[in-house]
Copies of this chain bind each other. A is one copy, B any other.
Amino acid sequence: METTPENTAHGYIRAGDKEKLRHRLRRIEGQVRGIQRMLDEDAYCIDILTQLGSIVAATEKVGLLILKDHMDHCVRHAVERRDEADEKIEEVVSAVERFLRV
């Protein structure tokens, strides 16, 4: 899926949500760096696994927030205007499918 100029013009994600997402992403980035430190310090494998699981869950949470915004704006607008509604619905379901890796 390419980022088209038309898409980037929208700015679907609400300013308030963006701030929240940035905060969460900075935390995830910090957790990933934390694991590099745990490796350097020969931390116990099980502790590293626990931290990795927490990164996975936090990343999926960010995905859900973005899915919510996408449904609230892009999918909703396409359906309201009956403009590419089928394509948008198909697209978001495929995105969930890739996320679940089914």
Contact = CB atoms under 8 A, between A and B. Distances in A.
Contacts of A29: 29, 32-33, 36
Nearest to A102: B60
Contact of A41 (B8, B33, B71): B8
Range of interface residues on A (Cβ < 8 Å): 35 or more
The A interface, classified by DSSP as helix, strand, loop or mixed, is helix
B100 A60 contact: yes
A102 B70 contact: no
Interface of A: 1-4, 7-13, 18, 21-22, 25-26, 28-29, 32-33, 35-36, 39, 41-50, 52-53, 55-57, 59-64, 66-72, 74-76, 79-80, 82, 85, 89-93, 95-102
